[in-house]
Chains A and B, each alone.
Chain A
Amino acid sequence: MSVAGTLLRSRALAALTSPHGVDRYLELVNPMWAAHEVRARIVGVHREVDVPGHPPVATLTLQPTATWRGHRAGQHVQVGVEVDGARRTTRVFTISSPDSRPGDRFTITLRANPGGVVSRFLAERAQPGTVLHLSQAQGEFVLPDHVPEQILLVSGGSGITPVMSMLRSLQRRTHRGRITFLHYAQSPEHQIYAAELDEIRRSGDGIDVHLLHPELGDPALSPAYLHRLLPGYQDVPTWACGPEPLMKAVQAAYDGSDALRTEYFRPPRASSGDAGGEVVFERSGKAAPNAGTPILDQAEALGLTPESGCRMGICFSCVSRKTEGTVRNVLTGEESSLPDEDIRICVSAPVGDCSVDL
């Protein structure tokens, strides 16, 4: 790739393909050719967990384009899919395979959320050959270059993916220290990577694997339990990822200790009724009770001056990113709750809490 890559990213080629850019031409020949963008072809689909009546969990193996710069264990990637060939929807998934180098294959593991367009498509319908749109790997929830002698990895549910990526990387790096791996799952049937973890447990490589199922009587996460498991745990470098209740318990147990690093993904908040709630303007740090009027009006009432034009939804000057919450299009009455969505703020009124990147 290096010679071809240098050529494809050269200023000369950019000038010749101006104003559209090299990728707009390459993609017409082969979607896996790219100079700047990152795409990936699904090369493997593996069902991790399939409990009847519960959303399945699948691991997808992705072959990225040569533009993929690699990732560090614990990082995530934005994945865009065109469901039914039209609307591209983008969601963030954690990478579950060990550190990757440029152009390397990697895996994402995801649960099909019942209301999630992307996760359901990927877990239930995606086939090898499907091309996805990716960002570069992102996120600060990573292991340091020099991994401490002793570490603790805590996860719950599908929050296992980033710490599994860390565990796999450490194994590959032949980490000599002691790793305590603590995971909470609903039941043994819901355990993701059960066979691999079982093998790790029996390998005797200094990795303590604890798989817990509180619903079956195992102890819930508490300071007492952690202390029993690992005396002085508050000083042990810890990486924790999981659903909100587990993360709250972890944070309480560490009581502000610097040793703890956490990450969790909140599900999108659903509509919380008509008006009411709070509108947050993230970039300017302002917030106000939701007045029920279009976001542009509410922003201006707070003294902000977002770019705007026609004020009737036709000119697209005011398009801004809604990061969270539900908005209603005042012209059509259509409601939308997708996170990270571009909306015309002159005709979008918040329904309940709402955050906008303004």
Chain B
Amino acid sequence: MDGDGLEGSVIIGLEIHCQLNKLNSKLFCGCSTKQQGLEPNTMTCPVCLGLPGALPVINKKAVEYSIMVGLALSCEIAEHTQFYRKNYYYPDLPRGFQITQYDWPIASNGILTVEADGEERTVRIRRVHMEEDPGRLVHQGSIETSKFVLVDYNRSGMPLLEVVTEPDLRSPKEARRFINKLRNILEYLDVFDGSLEGALRVDANVSLRGGARVEIKNISSYKGVERALLFEISRQQNMKRRGVKVTQETRHYDDERNCTITLRTKEQAEEYRYYPEPDLVPLSVKSWEPRLKATLPELPDARRERFKKQYSISDDHAKVITSEIRVANYYECVAGKCEPRLAATWVADYLKGELNYRDRDIKDAFEPEKMIYILEQLKTGIITDKGAVEVMRALLDEGGDPKDIILSRNLAKVETDITKAAVKDVIKENLEAIRDYKDGKPQALNYLVGKVMKKTNGRADPAEVNLLLRELLECT
């Protein structure tokens, strides 16, 4: 069980929109895709504003990126691909239609496996297609209270890739894992930066076995996907329990209130009047495939296997390390200069743990060189495990140089003489515990070790303390 008690009855399919935000220019014009933090409507031109007479021209690099994603998802690449117009009215859509793909998507029939309750779940990818992002509506305050709507077209024409799965997912957790894995692959391909605002948006289809399908639109955070699905599933279960029929509809996910609300029912189904975009000629892309296949980088699964082999690290560690390209790169950097297994523990367990605790990303961590330094000090016995953790925490919270931190905080291990003196003192001061130990209560030793550590402000090596205590206790 994956914890939600729904295994087997839940059917989930996803439509994931990812901005190809690593491209330099938009999908149909030369405007830059780097628009975060810019003044509204400053990164626009006649094409992405849809001014009368302006014509779209396809960004060739975007097509190449899309093919690479298709290949990474084991898809077939289309012989010919074509763009369509999806006609609808909305203030953020400057042409009154969105240029997207319909028949002949660039890639289709792929697979992606995710972990599902100990086994592997093979999720079929129905299609991968390209489309442009519309602009962005900005409400003053909230949607309900805003007296007007501001439109920012900086995002208009941003290249999007939509990945559509078959309804093969069986739990919200699997859905989240799928999205994380997809993000991971896109980042390995270097076509996507998932940390940017609006980089990824999800529509999820969910139904209980035998029930009607409900589509949840506009989920815009990674965590939101799992939460929205959990909410929607329990809503549908409650209806089922009360004997109310679930109807086919489209619902909106409200991230702030964590609930879904009706957007439109089946009777109001949208009419998009798709038809081929006459301003863009069909592209014969099949011939691009071999060249792009040759440039595909090592992908997460392959890297994980290599790490296990090359560095002799555990499967769990390899999984954690390769599940984010930045972590994997960080690890390789550290492992190249240290004992790889030690590095794995310190990157996968300690560093990731400390980052998660702070809700921070690996890109906000300190440089691998500093990690290498810490591990060197640890290996040569200059600092203890505890000391190493303290250095890491200090680096994450305050920055600085690990050497300085070790010095200024007195983290270097104390000399053996001092430890010996502390041990002697402790033995003198804790006769009762010594009696317990000698009476065959080994846990009394731990108590004594703790006392010594306290006396040395944690700078003694617990293993050494242990040894010294035993030696002395045997003698007395």
Question: Is B a genuine binding partner of A?
Answer: no
Residues of A within 8 A of B (CB): none
